[in-house]
A = this chain, B = another copy of it.
Amino acid sequence: MPELRKDPILSRWVIISPERGKRPIDFPAAKKKFRGGFCPFCPGNESKTPPEVLALRSTGIEPNSPGWSLRVVPNRYPALMVEGELVREGEGMYDRISGIGAHEVIIETPDHNQTYTSMTNRAVENIFRAFQERIRDLKQDNRFKYFMIFKNHGESAGASLEHSHSQLIALPIVPKRVMEEMQGAHYHFNYKERCIFCDIIRQEMKVGQQERVVCHNDSFVALAPFASRFPFEVWILPLRHVHHFENMQDNDVGELAGLFQEIMQRLEGLLDNPDYNFILHNAPVGDAAREYYHWHLEIFPKLTHVAGFEWGSGFYINPTPPEMAAQLLRDFDLGDYLQDQATYASVGTQ
């Protein structure tokens, strides 16, 4: 059974998950290249995953059989377990909680070779709708306090399978980073009675000063944050204040998909298809933070190797000023790039 443990000094919770590995002998495997051949996420292999909890498929087709365009399944190697009771206990000065939670995989396309940049805009929309639907469903279980949605793309970003997928972890606690965001945003709100994220957006969108804005549409903005930790870090924020991602209006989902896909294409073209992570920052379950929390997506291309130092120190050195990153992303000739990609694709299928 996995468990959550609290660092007594930093009050940071960590999942200790003995079911997932990992003796010394298990680690060299993590360094291996993606194994070619069998893919449990491809159509026809539905029996190799736990039964689906959500799928987009034409009516009349059996669950867990081919014919779907998106599938959500429990993770076969979950970091947390759905079954069981939430038990809190101490061990001297230490605190632990039983590792109750959900861990699901969103299989984003039936096509093994599709990515966000090559799939249709409608397919990207459906991914965001699936995130919303799974959160709404899991919210009914009152053991869960937070839903973390993220993607590891590429081996160096932590992906173990190539087929495009993202993950959802439902947690019985709120992660430290989100708690800190809430504290910072709450402090600002108490002082100014305004949402700090709304204030950031207002400052960044000022006409003639959009130096960190990469692009925007009527509902969303993509920008390189002022204190970016990583080269080409990009955040996407809704222009209007929305605390919970799952409360986003349905017509905004299309706007989000459009802007998100454009950013992914610009990053891919400019940085030569980098590995990356994205993390959805959402308000915790409940209405406590509704006035001051503002959901957003954080995207990090994985360009440097200096992970351990940053992990250990909480201190970041970023060699690319966000203003330079934003300008290079803005100036990148996307039309030209997409035309080239389309040419390669049509040659490839001849």
Q: Does A207 contact B (CB under 8 A)?
A: no
In the complex formed, the residue of B with least CB distance to A20 is: B319
Given contacts A11-B184, A314-B176, A315-B175, contact A156 B309 (CB under 8 A): no
A311 touches B307 (CB 8 A): yes
B231 touches A9 (CB 8 A): no
Q: Is the interface of A mostly helix, strand, loop or mixed?
A: mixed
> Please, could you name 18 A-B residue pairs with CB atoms under 8 Å apart, sorted by A?
A5-B226, A9-B184, A9-B197, A10-B181, A14-B229, A14-B315, A21-B304, A22-B231, A23-B320, A24-B271, A27-B274, A28-B272, A91-B226, A93-B200, A93-B203, A157-B306, A277-B309, A302-B307
In the complex formed, the residue of B with least CB distance to A173 is: B315
A14 touches B300 (CB 8 A): no
**Bound complex: CA A269 to CA B328 (Å):** 45
Contact partners of A270 in chain B: CB under 8 A: 24
Binds B, one of A66-74, A104-112, A147-155, A336-344: A147-155
Instruction: Give the number of copies in the complex.
Output: 2
- A4-20 toward B: CB 8 Å interface, digit per residue (1/0)? 01111111111111101
B177 touches A8 (CB 8 A): no
Contact of A311 among B5, B20, B176, B311 (CB under 8 A): B311
A17 touches B318 (CB 8 A): yes
Q: Does A227 contact B (CB under 8 A)?
A: yes
A316 touches B14 (CB 8 A): yes
B17 touches A317 (CB 8 A): yes
B148 touches A16 (CB 8 A): no
A298 touches B279 (CB 8 A): no
Q: Does A312 contact B (CB under 8 A)?
A: yes
Contact partners of A23 in chain B: CB under 8 A: 320, 324, 328
Could you tell me which residues of chain A, from 275 to 329, have a CB within 8 Å of some CB in chain B?
A: 275-279, 298, 300, 302-322, 324, 328
**Bound complex: CA A162 to CA B6 (Å):** 36
Given contacts A8-B226, A79-B317, A157-B308, list 5 more A-B pairs with CB under 8 A: A10-B180, A150-B312, A155-B305, A230-B311, A307-B311
Min CB distance, A60 to chain B, in Å? 38
A309 touches B7 (CB 8 A): no
A181 touches B9 (CB 8 A): yes
